[in-house]
Amino acid sequence: MTKSTPHIEPNDVPIAKTVLMPGDPLRAKYIADHYLDNVEQFNSVRNMFGYTGTYKGKTVSVMGSGMGMPSIGIYSYELYNFFDVETIIRVGSCGALQPQINLYDLIIAQAASTNSNYVDQYNIPGHYAPIADFNLMVKAKQYADQLGATVHVGNVLSSDTFYNADTQFNDQWQQMGILGIEMESAALYLNAVHAGRQALGIFTVSDHILRDEATTAEERQNAFTQMMEVALEIAE
């Protein structure tokens, strides 16, 4: 286990085997402040806050990932390979692409399609499909159902572009059954499988691309409680 990396300096604060990873470091702080006991901060490098505490007696960490696959690619790689983390659960927001999905619904990413070339580094002779850990996915679905959440399980798009010049971009992915668009999970899933570890993405629908509906920045930071509770409950 590494003492520090260029991006994570725990200063002897332990990092748990399971890390919740929102994109926004302020959402990481919100989770630590509102859900964890005995909290210690293990990272502040580049203001990418990381915390370790306990949830119902379980030791859990939470840390921001930043936006996009290059950013989560760095942090998840270091957590898996240098800090002996076994499981990363991405808790984020996404834009819905299907008409049956509504704001605040949960999406569990069974798979993460992508327009990124992140996979190219592995020199795979074909097209690799980044998928979640099956057991984590099942547990998340079961607990979300217990909470009474409206939950959808399926394929998301991890996009390298937030603003896309191709006006047909969303329509083409919608036609292929993509539930929602986010920007990180494909890299996380690839890093996990390459390291022999586990990963899952759970999302709250923050906006609806088809209907031009959206939540506020404050709501995205503070109001996505069902997603956070599901991730914490399945943490081991």
Annotated binding site for a purine D-ribonucleoside: 7, 182-184, 206-207
* CA distance linking residue 20 with residue 200, whole number of Å: 10
Residues annotated within the binding site for phosphate are 23, 27, 46, 90-93
Determine which one of 160, 166, 207, 212 is catalytic: 207
Q: Would you list which residues are annotated within the binding site?
A: 7, 23, 27, 46, 90-93, 182-184, 206-207
120 is catalytic: no
The three-point CA angle 100-230-56 to 5° equals: 165
For residues 73 and 191, the answer to whether their CB atoms sit within 8 Å is yes
C-alpha 24/C-alpha 49 separation (Å) is 9
- Please list, in sequence order, all residues whose beta carbon lies within 8 angstroms of the beta carbon of residue 137, skipping any fewer than 6 positions away: 108, 110, 153, 200
Residue positions annotated with a catalytic role = 207
